[in-house]
Amino acid sequence: MRIEEEIKLDFKDVLIRPKRSTLRSRAEVNLHRKYNFRHSDKTWEGIPIIAANMDHTGTFAVANALAKHSMMTAVDKYASVDEWEKFVQQSQHNKERLNYAFVSCGIRQEDFDKLKTIMRQLDLALICLDVANGYSQYFVDFVRRTRDAFPTKIIMAGNVVTGEMTEELILSGADIVKVGIGPGSVCTTRKKTGVGYPQISAVIECADAAHGLRGLVCSDGGCTVPGDVAKAFAAGADFVMLGGMLAGHDECSGEIFIENGQKFKRFYGMSSTEAMNKHHGKVEEYRSSEGKSVNIPYRGAIENTILDILGGIRSTCTYVGAQQLKELSKRTTFIRVTQQLNEVYAPYQIST
């Protein structure tokens, strides 16, 4: 056994130090990024925020709403070939929108077969290979197999939290490595297993490893407010994936229900008992659930939340003088803090 003494940081442990700036208004800030990839020959341009491939947020309705802002959605892996076909047909007059939707895939043979069917029948560009634990050799081989089958597609793979495994996945064929073990809003991995890594440090370390190889990283999980999304980009994330922050809206799956006069929507982790029962009919005996179910207050149209998030990041950029999102991490100095917020009126808050 060994102990690493250096303190690792989470969103709650840092703030971004403001810097002198010549920017006059947040309207001057451009959040679009343009990326080339290590393996894929494609280029991608847009606002690099991705709705998580959970069955609540990874819906085609969310994809439509986010694509209007050039933002992305990792459609959940349970979407059928027929549903994909319909989505592609409906995009005939707006083909651009297909550049913002990832086809997600687990590591079972049937997942891979479905991925091949979807990618061959429909001209899509983005693949998201997702497992809870990206450290297995089986997953590395799976990434390699996927790269061999799709040499020109953009492949995102994860999740991992350390530099050496980020490198391994990039060398095996990933263009983007998804970073995060345990930070998610409905994740219980840290509770069940004791495994995890504070997200800001994970992003800093994995981005450093990836960028050295012309790879990219996606910070996945743990953002609770727009400021956290800004911190993830400031730490070096090329993309940021959001589950909980986009949950509870009209475009998310699930019905609205009323309890004590208040409207709610159901949200659950993809390894929760609820998700496993829903998609597999049971929880396998050899595994425990590593996710939870929550009822979240219904939040209306996702558009308002999107604007709130983008407005927040634009404002971060003006505070540090970054005219483009690309400059944010270069212009960031994080300061370690012991407190983030003044919560004196928390019990009395009526709106944001």
* Residue number with CB closer to ligand 5GP (46 or 196): 196
**What is the token pair recorded at 304?**
């308002």
Alpha-carbon gap, residue 179 to 61, rounded angstroms: 25
Alpha-carbon gap, residue 183 to 191, rounded angstroms: 11
Short-list 62, 97, 102, CA closest to 247? 62
Alpha-carbon gap, residue 249 to 62, rounded angstroms: 9
Minimum distance between the CB of residue 309 and ligand 5GP, rounded to whole angstroms? 12
Q: What is the DSSP letter of 236?
A: T
* Residue number with CB closer to ligand 5GP (39 or 178): 178
Number of H helices, E strands in the chain: 11, 15
**Residues within window 280-309 making contact with ligand 5GP, judged by CB under 6 A:** 290-291
Alpha-carbon gap, residue 277 to 86, rounded angstroms: 27
59 near ligand 5GP, judged by CB under 6 A: no
269 near ligand 5GP, judged by CB under 6 A: yes
8 A C-beta contact, residue 324 and residue 220? no
Helix, strand and coil content of the chain, in percent to the nearest 5, comes to: 35, 20, 45
Minimum distance between the CB of residue 104 and ligand 5GP, rounded to whole angstroms? 10
Minimum distance between the CB of residue 52 and ligand 5GP, rounded to whole angstroms? 3
Tell me which of 104, 201, 271, 316 binds ligand 5GP, using CB under 6 A.
Answer: 271
Identity of residue 263 = K
List, as one string, the DSSP characters of 57-76: TS-HHHHHHHHTTT-EEEE-
| 189 catalytic per annotation | yes
73 near ligand 5GP, judged by CB under 6 A: no
Interface characters, 215-254, with ligand 5GP (x: CB under 6 A): -----xxxx-----------------xxxxx---------
40 near ligand 5GP, judged by CB under 6 A: no
Minimum distance between the CB of residue 62 and ligand 5GP, rounded to whole angstroms? 13
Alpha-carbon gap, residue 218 to 240, rounded angstroms: 5
177 forms beta bridges with 157, 217
199 near ligand 5GP, judged by CB under 6 A: no
Tell me which of 75, 186, 234, 235 binds ligand 5GP, using CB under 6 A.
Answer: 186
119 near ligand 5GP, judged by CB under 6 A: no
* Residue number with CB closer to ligand 5GP (94 or 304): 304
Strands 49-51 and 72-75: what pairing?
Answer: parallel
67 near ligand 5GP, judged by CB under 6 A: no
Alpha-carbon gap, residue 214 to 239, rounded angstroms: 14
Residue count, binding to ligand 5GP (CB under 6 A): 25
Task: Write down the catalytic residue from 187, 218, 252, 317.
Answer: 187
Tell me which of 52, 71, 79, 240 binds ligand 5GP, using CB under 6 A.
Answer: 52
Minimum distance between the CB of residue 55 and ligand 5GP, rounded to whole angstroms? 10
Alpha-carbon gap, residue 48 to 234, rounded angstroms: 13
Q: What is the DSSP letter of 286?
A: T
Task: Write down the catalytic residue from 59, 73, 189, 318.
Answer: 189
Tell me which of 9, 54, 124, 240 binds ligand 5GP, using CB under 6 A.
Answer: 54
What is the binding site for ligand 5GP (CB under 6 A)? 52, 54, 132, 159, 180, 184-187, 189, 220-223, 241-245, 269-272, 290-291
Catalytic residues: 187, 189
